[in-house]
Amino acid sequence: MEAPTHYPDAPEGVWDRHPEVIDDDGLLVMSVGAFLIRTREHNVLVDLGFGPNKVDVTALTNGQFRGDLIGGALLESLSTVGLEPADVHGIVFSHLHLDHVGWVIDPERPDEPTFPNARYFMATAELDYWSTETDPAERVKGATDEQIAMMRRSVELVDSQTEIFPGVVVVPTPGHTWGHVSVLANGTDGKALVIGDAFHCPVELQHDGMSFVFDQDSAKAHESRAKINEILQEENVYFAGGHFPDRVFGKLTAGDDSHVHGLEYLEH
């Protein structure tokens, strides 16, 4: 996707200062996937990626934006850490855009869920919006009717900060969508905040005040980003950026001034 198009109020020259997030075609590089949180008793996924699909963003947006959206490796990735779909106990949807719900339905058995033993968690506002939205231009961005019907089989609605499993806390961060949430994982040596689509690019974390063109409520999105920044400035709290390129785990550090932050990535 084209960074200047998606961040209309980005600081002047910011992309020249961050060439690491731009490819040779001038497109913003983003990863697409899910996060696995493992506790002593539970395996919890945050989001379900794009699924075994590939989409031309140019065609999807009628030429408004350029790029490709490619998914398909989630089950293989889980198998590398010894997990089968039946081993997943919970799935938290940060929101219901199509690149976060791709594995809801088993591609081999379209009447069954991919993760048969999982409880689904999301905000009421998120489920309600995508269940009733009729504008085709908007509807194409979100979960299908079939995916929503599958979610309703085992959905638990979370509308305030809630610990859904020991050490796994849903944190409301609306704005990108009406019911967007983040997820805080509490470990023995620190915490990790899975930020969903509250931030799409690490440059947003470093430069306060940037807005994203696809945010449904820009004012609430700014409030949620400020809330996340406060959490990330606490001791031993790390971020997990679902759309960040290459390195997705890290820590917010002091920057040049109060509105510009540094990043310290974790190697993985």
**What is the per-residue pLDDT across 119-144, written as a single tens digit (0 to 9) for each?**
999 999 999 999 987 687 788 889 99
Q: Which residue has the higher pLDDT, 67 or 49?
A: 49
Query: What range does the domain containing 148 cover?
Result: 3-265
Coil, strand or helix at 142: strand
CATH number of the CATH domain containing 162: 3.60.15.10
Count the domains in the chain. 1
At 154 the pLDDT is 95
Confidence of residue 4 (pLDDT cuts 50, 70, 90): low
Structure tokens at 107: 């591609």
Looking at the DSSP bridge assignments, the partners of residue 263 are 252
pLDDT tens per residue, range 159-208: 999 999 999 999 999 999 999 999 999 998 899 999 999 999 999 999 99
Average pLDDT in the chain = 91
Residue 63, pLDDT score:
62
- Torsional sign, CA 100, 101, 102, 103: positive
Identify the weakest region by mean pLDDT among 5-9, 38-42, 54-58, 246-250.
54-58
Residue 116 sits at the vertex; the CA angle it makes with 112 and 118, to the nearest 5 degrees, is: 130
Residue 121 CB burial class (10 angstroms; 0-12, 13-18, ≥19): buried
pLDDT value of position 137: 76
In this predicted structure, what is the pLDDT of residue 6? 86
216 vs 63, which has greater pLDDT? Answer: 216
Q: What is the mean pLDDT of residues 22-39?
A: 90
pTM: predicted TM-score of the whole model, two decimal places: 0.92
In the structure encoding, which two tokens stand for residue 94, read together? 């940060």
Average pLDDT over residues 65-84: 87
pLDDT of 266 reads 87
Cα separation values, 196 from 56, 61, 84, 106, 113, Å: 22, 22, 24, 23, 22
In the chain, the percentage of residues whose pLDDT exceeds 90 is 69
| Range picked from 56-70, 85-99, 128-142 for highest mean pLDDT | 85-99
- Give me the pLDDT at residue 62, please: 66
CA dist 69 and 53 (Å) reads 8
Q: Closest by alpha carbon to 37, among 2, 81, 99?
A: 81
Q: How many residues does the chain have?
A: 268
DSSP 7: -
